Amino acid sequence: MKKTKYLHIALIILGIIFVTIPVFHNNLWFDESYTVGIVKNSFIDIWRIGGNDVHPILYYWILHIIYLIFGTNIYAYRIMSVIPLAILGLLGYTHIRKDFGEKEGILFSFFTFFLPINCIYAGELRMYTWAMLFVTLMSIYAYRIYKNSSTKNWIIFAIFSLASAYTHYYALVTAGVVNLILFIYILKQAIKQKHYTKQLKCFTISAIVQIILYIPWITCFLAQTSHVSKGFWITGPSLELFKQIFIFQFVGNLDAKFISDIVALIFGGIMLAYVIYTAIKSKEKRAGNWAITIYILVMLTALIISMKMPILYARYFLVLTGLFVFFISFFMAKGKSKIIPILICITTLVIAGIVNANVIKMNYLEANTQPLEYIKQDFKDGDIIVWGNEGSGFTLAMQLGNNMPTYFYDESYWNQEAAYEAFGKNMTTIKTLEPLDDYKGRIWIINSETYAIYDQFVQRYGENIELIKQKMFEIDYHAYKYSVTLLDKRG
C-alpha cells in the first residue's frame, strides 16, 4: 500500500517536470499576445475590455495579480498555466484515489500529465488549464454531493461552478449541465420522499447564490453573444471538424501537427475502443457514466447552438479534458486485462515523448527570436509601428512593450476597437493610411507573408518614402510568418 502511494507521488512529480520542460520561452502567438496585453490593465478595465472579447475574464484577473507582483513576465505567466494542470494531476492522489480507488487515481494522474494534448497546452497563455481544473473540481464535488450532501461539499461545488462560468463559455455550459443533472436527481428524491428535502434546500441556495454572483456579467455575456452572431471565425459543423475534435482530444493537433493524423486516429481509436468495451462489461459504471454524460451533453449543446451561430471548436474541448481523463481512467481500471492497459500506457508515454520533444523543439529554436531581434537592433526612440490584419504584428508589439505609438491598420474592417484596447492606450486603429499623411519619421511595418502594406505606402507617398531595410521570416512557433519593413517617411 505504501509503495503504491510512493509510486503515485513519484508519478506526479515526474509528470509536473515533464509538462513544465517546454514552457520557459518568450514566444507568443496572437491569442497569447492578447493575454499579455489585457492583463496589464486594472481589474475594472479588464472587465470592461474583456466584455468586448469572446471569453469571460477570471483567468485575466488571475494573471493580473501575477502582473502586479512580477510585471510583464511571460515565464511567470506560463508557470501559472502549469499550476492548474499540476493540481489536476494531484487530484488523482487526493480525490480520485480516495473516492474511487488507487488504480483509478494513478491512471488519472498519469493521463493528466502524459495524454499528449496536455503536454502541448500546459504552458499556453490562455485560460484552458484553469477551466479544466475548475470544471473537474465542480464535477467531483457534484458527485460527492450525490454520495454525501454535506455543507462543505455544497460550498466547494458552488465556488467551482461559478469559477467555471467566469473562465470559459464551454465551462459555463458544463456548469449548467452539471447543475441541471444534480437538480433533476435531487428533485426526484424530494418527490419520492414527498417533502422539501435538505438537499433541495441546499441546491436552491447554491443556485440562487451562483445566479446572483453571475448577474454582473450578464450584460457582457449578451454583448459577446451578439458579437459572435454577427460574424465569427469558427466554421460550421462538418465531418472534418468532428474528426479534428477527436484527434485533438488525444494528441492536440490543431494549428501545428506534432504527430500524424493517422497515428492519432489509431492511437485514440484503440484507447477509446478498449475503454468503451470495459465500460460495457463493468458492473460499476455510475461515476464513469457521470463524466462521459456531461462531456456528451456539452458537445450536443455546442452542436445545437452551432446550427445557428458557430461555436463548435476543437480547442474549446480542453475545458472538458479532466472529465475525459477521468472517464478513461475509471473504466480502464475496471478492465480485467492487465496487459492491455499497460500497453496503452506505454504507447501513451511514447507518443507523449514524441509530441513533447517536438513542442520543446518548436518553443526553443533560436530562429523564433529572429524577427524580434531584427527590429531591436535598429529600433530608435520616436519610431512607430504599423501592422495589418495578421497576428504577427500584435505578437511582436507585445514582446517589444507597448510604450511606443502603434497603429493597427484594420483594412479588413474587423471593427474590434473596444476589445483591442487590451493592446494598450498607445495603439490606434486606422482603416486607411490617411491618418499617417502628416507623419514624418521612421515607420516599422509588420505583416505576415507579404509586403502588401509597404506597397500601399509606396503608392500613396511615392518619393517621400525611403526604404531602409526589409526581410521575411518564418518561425517554428505556431508556424508564424513575418514580413518586417523599416522605412523613413519624409512627408
Nine-digit cell string for 17: 517536470
In this predicted model, what pLDDT tens digit does every residue of 319-374 receive, in sequence order? 999 999 999 999 999 999 999 999 999 999 999 999 999 999 999 999 999 999 99
Mean pLDDT value across residues 27-39: 96
Residue 402: predicted pLDDT: 59
227 has a pLDDT exceeding 90: no
Residue 415: predicted pLDDT: 85
Residue 403: predicted pLDDT: 73
- Burial pattern 258-275, b for ≥16 Cβ within 10 A else e, equals bbeeeebeebbeebbebb
Mean pLDDT value across residues 471-490: 94
Its pTM stands at 0.95
Residue 76 pLDDT level (bands cut at 50, 70, 90): very high
Residue 2 pLDDT level (bands cut at 50, 70, 90): confident
The percent of residues in the chain predicted with pLDDT above 70, rounded, is 98
Q: How many CB atoms lie within 10 A of CB 358?
A: 19
CA 225/CA 56 separation, integer angstroms: 12
Mean pLDDT value across residues 200-212: 97
Residue 332: predicted pLDDT: 97
Residue 231: predicted pLDDT: 53
In this predicted model, what pLDDT tens digit does every residue of 438-460 receive, in sequence order? 999 999 999 998 999 999 999 99
Three-class SS state of 319: helix
Q: Please choose, from the candidates 401, 478, 402, 407, the residue with its C-alpha nearest in 3D space to the C-alpha of residue 446.
A: 407
Mean pLDDT value across residues 133-145: 98
